[in-house]
Amino acid sequence: MGSLIEIQNLTFWYGEDKQEVPVIKDINLSVKKGEFIAVVGPNGSGKSTLIRHLNGFLAPCRGRVTVDGLDTAESRNLPVIRRKVGMVFQNPDTQLFASVVEEDVAFGVENLGLPRAEIRERVDSALAQVGMLEYKHYPPHRLSGGQKQKVAIAGILAVQPECIVLDEPTSMLDPRGKKEVREAVRALNAALGITVIYVTHDMNEVLRCDRLAALSGGEIVFTGRPEDFFADRECLHRIGLQAPPIKELVHSLTEEGFDLPRDLNSPEELVDALCR
């Protein structure tokens, strides 16, 4: 499949002073259509800064970012780019701004200037996709964190984007909320083929992604399959991340002499492999 987002030699400073160490250092990354990419890295490694380039919130100081061939540095491209690339943020409380759920989901579509009947249809189908249709008349402040994030995702879906970027969407949620949101995102990727770029601190969430990009100090230090990433213990250690418990367990067992495949992602798979 073709590539959707191209990042070429991206370098970025927040300040004017170009002598300082840049926040993003010469990053190259290409995101294919329909891919599920996870972005990980320690605090301050530049994950949020990087993804803010993807919808033109930030313009590169050096290098180029294109979405479907459109340069994000050109402001006349921004409306189209923002329609193609939706963004979900960390705090569920500051993303919903209407007094009723369905109004909020409609917000992005209303910005497109579509006729009323079409808005109605898109809002309902987006809410149904994330399983929140029955809450459409609720005020947002009466929803749980996970439900709010799902409504935020529905609001993006209603615009029918090609790509959804999520910046730590689950970090303020409890385990149940995390699971709800994670599953909703997976379903979109699998069922609708929407490209997903998922920033997270939770290593359990990246196990099943297609590709993983690890950032450290503004540089991409790894891109590839998650199991290869977690197998490279030296790299993990250097950037200060820890593999999820299941990977740690598999690793310990391998060191004890068990011959196990590297792509085991759940206790059940591990049990199967051991019993074989």
Partner 1 sequence: MEGIVLGQYVPGNSFLHKLDPRTKLIMSAVLLWVIFLLEGPLEYTGFGLFIVFLYLLAGVSGSFLKILRPGLYLVLITLIINMIFTPGRVVLDLGLADITREGLIQGLTMGFRLVFLISMSSLVTLTTSPVRMTDGLELLLKPFKKIGVPASELAMMMNIALRFIPTFWEETDKIRKAQIARGADFDSWNLGRRIKYITALLVPLFVSAFRKADELSMAMEARGYTVGMERTSLHELKMNPRDYLVLTVFFISVAAFVINKYFI
Ligand X SMILES: Nc1ncnc2c1ncn2[C@@H]1O[C@H](COP(=O)(O)OP(=O)(O)OP(=O)(O)O)[C@@H](O)[C@H]1O
Q: How far is the CB of 99 from partner 1 (least distance, A)?
A: 4
Taking phi first (over 0 means left), then psi (-120 to 50 degrees means alpha), and beta for anything else, what does residue 6 get?
A: beta
Q: Give burial (CB, 10 Å; 0-12/13-18/19+) of 92.
A: buried
48 binds Mg ion, rule: CB under 5 A:
yes
Give me the 79-118 binding string for partner 1, x by CB under 8 A, dash otherwise. x--xx--xx-x-x-xxxxxxxx-xx--xxxxxxxxxxx--
Number of residues that bind partner 1 (CB under 8 A): 40
Q: How far is the CB of 142 from partner 1 (least distance, A)?
A: 9
Find all residues with CB under 8 Å of 154, minimum gap 6, and list them. 105, 123, 126, 127, 129, 130, 132
Q: How far is the CB of 65 from partner 1 (least distance, A)?
A: 15
> Site residues (CB under 6 A) for ligand X?
14, 23, 41, 43-49
Q: Are strands 85-88 and 163-167 parallel, antiparallel or unpaired?
A: parallel
Q: Which residue is nearest to Mg ion (CB)?
A: 48
Q: Tell which positions 216-275 bind partner 1, by CB under 8 A.
A: none
Q: Tell which positions 112-151 bind partner 1, by CB under 8 A.
A: 112-116, 119-120, 123, 139-141
Residue 264 CB neighbours (<10 A): 21
* Closer Cβ to ligand X, 20 or 118, answer by number: 20
Q: Which does 161 bind (CB under 5 to 8 A by kind): Mg ion, ligand X, partner 1, none?
A: none
* Closer Cβ to Mg ion, 48 or 91, answer by number: 48
- The closest of 9, 10, 1, 11 to 68, measured between CA atoms, is 1
Find all residues with CB under 8 Å of 106, minimum gap 6, and list them. 98, 119, 123, 158
* Closer Cβ to partner 1, 173 or 214, answer by number: 173
The CA-CA-CA angle for residues 66, 227, 181, to 5°, reads 65
Q: How far is the CB of 70 from ligand X (least distance, A)?
A: 23
Q: Which does 87 bind (CB under 5 to 8 A by kind): Mg ion, ligand X, partner 1, none?
A: partner 1
204 binds Mg ion, rule: CB under 5 A:
no
Which residues in 161-199 are b (16+ Cβ under 10 Å) and which e?
bbbbbbbbbbebbeeebbebbbebbbebbeeeebbbbbb
SS3 127: helix
Q: Which residues bind to partner 1, rule: CB under 8 A? A: 55, 57, 79, 82-83, 86-87, 89, 91, 93-100, 102-103, 106-116, 119-120, 123, 139-141, 152, 155-156, 159
Q: Which residues bind to Mg ion, rule: CB under 5 A? A: 48
